[in-house]
């Protein structure tokens, strides 16, 4: 971290499971942090760590040189940046917005253009992969879109909670890469659920499957992360939500449609998550998609 970035006041908007974990890392490292969230539940916890509570996204922007955003979807990004009391209404020219949300690529580029035209705001789309535990271990993966100079300026901040930060192109490229990430993740969660259930029903020592397959073509992060979680039914507290995965898989389908591509495997996983969410599993841990197979 450079001396200049140490002295900057940083904003953080969106304090859900992911946002709170990232904000904690910035506070633990002694940075001055101004925060805002639609719901106030996260405030006491972060206030104890030294966070300054702002009354709106505009009030966050007015106090900061860099503002991180981590909200639920494209519309939420638009609301906190361009809406009533949004960032655009409080920002000074040169403010950098780093959007860690998962949003649509084309819409992200349009939002960035509007912010720049209206208030001279620079924008980086920087969706993340890894979950809250990875953030607290400072091991998130970030796929970024934006100018090289802007990304260099904020990389030391993001390195407080990420170990792999890659520029994939101009604004929107980070979100396009996240689309690919979620296609892989969503299909993999469903695949792991099917594999776990098949292993259980077969009578083999299901717990030893990751160990047995280590180093082979089937070895993967998901085999060593999602598979044991499903096998142990370790779904509480949730690290991510099934409803969010469904939202992300819908984004994947929309992008594939934009390019005229048929993606039946992703669409099948999306249908699995849609059925699970419809049955009441929306607020449950993503890996609990395993439950969809228990009674079949």
pLDDT of residue 2: 41
Sign of CA dihedral 150, 136, 127, 115: negative
Residues 6 or more apart whose CB falls under 8 angstroms from that of 7 comprise none
Identify the CA nearest to 99 among candidates 29, 170, 12: 12
Question: Mean pLDDT for the chain?
Answer: 95
Q: Which tens digits make up the pLDDT trace of 126-175?
A: 999 998 999 999 999 999 999 999 999 999 999 999 999 999 999 999 99
Residue 181 has pLDDT above 50, yes or no: yes
Segment 32-81, tens digit of pLDDT: 999 999 999 989 999 999 999 999 999 999 999 999 999 999 999 999 99
Per-residue pLDDT at 162: 98
Residue 5 scores a pLDDT above 90: no
Catalytic residue among 178, 247, 270, 291: 178
Q: Give the separation between CA 177 and CA 142, rounded to whole angstroms.
A: 10
Q: How confident is the model at residue 6 (pLDDT cuts 50, 70, 90)?
A: low
Residue 115's CB is within 10 A of a number of other CB atoms, namely 21
Give the per-residue pLDDT at 145. 98
Quote the pTM value. 0.92
Q: What is the 3-state secondary structure (H, E, C) of 18-47?
A: HHHHHHHHHHHCCCCEEEECCCCCCHHHHH
The whole-number pLDDT of residue 83 equals 97
Helices 105-119 and 173-202, interaxial angle, to 10°?
150
* Dihedral sign, Cα of residue 130, residue 133, residue 137, residue 138: positive
Q: Does the pLDDT value for residue 296 go beyond 90?
A: no
Q: Determine what percent of the chain is predicted with pLDDT higher than 70.
A: 97
Of the pLDDT bands very low, low, confident and very high (cuts 50, 70, 90), residue 3 is very low
Give the model's pLDDT for residue 225: 94
Q: Is 178 a catalytic residue?
A: yes
The pLDDT of residue 8 is: 86
């Amino acid at each position: 971290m450079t001396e200049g970035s140490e002295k900057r006041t940083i904003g953080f908007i969106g304090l859900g499971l992911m946002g709170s974990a990232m904000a904690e890392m910035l506070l633990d490292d002694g940075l001055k942090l101004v925060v805002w969230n639609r719901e106030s539940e996260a405030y006491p916890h972060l206030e104890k760590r030294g966070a300054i509570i702002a009354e709106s996204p505009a009030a966050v922007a007015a106090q900061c040189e860099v503002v991180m955003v981590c909200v639920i979807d494209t519309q939420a990004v638009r609301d906190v940046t361009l809406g009533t009391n949004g960032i655009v209404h409080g920002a000074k020219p040169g403010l950098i917005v780093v959007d860690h949300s998962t949003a649509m690529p084309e819409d992200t580029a349009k939002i960035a253009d509007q912010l720049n035209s209206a208030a001279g705001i620079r924008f980086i789309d920087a969706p993340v992969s890894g979950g809250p535990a990875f953030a607290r271990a400072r091991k998130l993966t970030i796929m970024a879109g934006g100018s090289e100079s802007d990304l260099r300026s904020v990389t030391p901040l993001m390195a407080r909670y990420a170990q792999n930060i890659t520029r994939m192109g101009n604004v929107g490229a980070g979100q396009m890469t996240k689309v690919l990430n979620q296609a892989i993740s969503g299909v993999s969660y469903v695949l792991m659920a099917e594999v776990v259930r098949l292993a259980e029903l077969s009578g083999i020592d299901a717990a030893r499957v990751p160990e047995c397959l280590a180093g082979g073509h089937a070895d993967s992060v998901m085999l060593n992360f999602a598979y044991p979680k499903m096998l142990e039914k370790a779904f509480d507290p949730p690290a991510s939500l099934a409803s969010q995965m469904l939202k992300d898989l819908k984004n994947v389908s929309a992008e594939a449609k934009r390019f005229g591509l048929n993606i039946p495997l992703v669409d099948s996983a999306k249908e699995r998550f849609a059925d699970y969410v419809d049955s009441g599993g929306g607020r449950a841990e993503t890996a609990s998609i395993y439950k969809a197979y228990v009674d079949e």
